[in-house]
Amino acid sequence: MHLNLLIVCAIVIKSTCGSSAIKREIFFNNFNAEVHPVPNYHAENYQYNKFTAPSPAEIAAAISAAKEASANVIEAQHRVHLVKQDVLSQQKIANQKEAAAALALQQTEAAAAVQRQQASAAAHSVVLAQQRLAHAKSDVAEQQRIAAEKEATAASIIQRAANAAALQIQRTEKTAAKFAAIHNSGAAAALKHIAAAKDATLGATSAAVHASAGPWAYPPNVLHLSAW
C-alpha cells in the first residue's frame, strides 16, 4: 500500500512542473531534517530522519491553493488576449484615420486639419492600448510566479507526508519484529499488527491526496500568446 502512495505522490509532483527553477528552490528549502542516533534492541546504533507529517487538511489546502493559482494564470492570459485585440482594433482605426487625412489633404486645408486631429487622437488611443497590454503581460508573469510557488509548496507537503508515513511504517515493522522474536508462536498476530498499522498510517494521507487530485495543466482552449 505504501508503494501505491509513493506512486500517487510522484504523479502529483510531476504535474506541478510549471516553473522548475522556483520549485526546486522551495522544494529543497522545506526539507530540513534532524538526524538522531537511536539504539536498537541488538545494542547497535541506527539513524532515522525526523519529519513533521502534515495533516490531510494541510495537504488538501496546499493542492487547492496551487489549483487556484493556476486558474488565475488562465484568467490573466485571457485578459492579455482581450487587450491585444483592443490594440489591433485601435491600430486599424488609426490607419483608417490616417488614410482619410491623406485624402482630405488633396481637398482643402480645413478638412485636412480636422482629419489630422482625429488621426492624432486615434494614435494616442493606440499608445494607451499598448500600455494596457504591457500591464496585462506583467500580470500574467506575476500569476505564473505565484502558481509555481503554490504548486511547489503542495509538492513539498505531499513529499513530507510520504516520508513521515514511510518512517512510521519502518518503526511499526521493527516493533512487530521484536514482538515476533519474543513470542515465536505469535507470528501471525505480528503480521496482522503490521498490516493494521500501515493502513492507519497511510489511510488519512491517501484520502487527502485522492480527494484533491486533479489535472493542473491548462485546458486546450487557453490561448498561449507569443511576444507581441
Q: Tell me the C-alpha distance between 120 and 113, whole Å.
A: 11
187-212 and 56-105 helices, crossing angle to 10° = 20
Instruction: Please give the model's pTM, rounded to 2 decimal places.
Output: 0.39
Q: Which helix (H) or strand (E) holds 198?
A: helix 187-212
Does residue 4 surpass a pLDDT of 80? no
pLDDT of residue 10: 44
- Return the minimum-mean-pLDDT range out of 14-18, 106-110, 164-168: 14-18
Instruction: Provide the phi-psi class of 43: left if phi over 0, else alpha when psi is between -120 and 50, else beta.
Output: left
Cell representation of residue 79: 485578459
Please say whether the beta carbons of 218 and 75 come within 8 A. Answer: no
Domain range summary for the chain, segments of one domain joined by +: 2-212
8 A C-beta contact, residue 79 and residue 139: yes
Predicted pLDDT of residue 51: 57
The whole-angstrom separation of Cα 75 and Cα 83 is 13
Cβ pair 12, 209 in contact under 8 A: yes
pLDDT in tens, 20-56: 444 444 444 444 444 444 444 444 544 545 557 788 8
Residues contacting 192, CB < 8 A, separation 6+: none
Residue 206 in grid coordinates:
491517501
Residue 6 above 70 pLDDT? no
Contact present, 213 and 67 (Cβ < 8 Å): no
Taking the C-alpha atoms of residue 27 and residue 157, their distance in angstroms, rounded to an integer, is 9
Distance CA 143, CA 69 (A): 7
104, 119 contact by CB (below 8 A) = no
Structure confidence at residue 188 as a pLDDT band (50, 70, 90): low
Indicate the average pLDDT of the chain: 72
In this predicted structure, what is the pLDDT of residue 111? 73
Contacts of 140 (CB under 8 A, 6+ apart): 73, 76, 77, 80
Least confident window among 10-24, 134-148, 176-190: 10-24
| Range of weakest confidence among 67-76, 98-107, 119-128, 153-162 | 98-107
**Where does the pLDDT of residue 207 fall: very low under 50, low under 70, confident under 90, or very high at 90 and above?**
low
- What does DSSP assign to residue 35? E
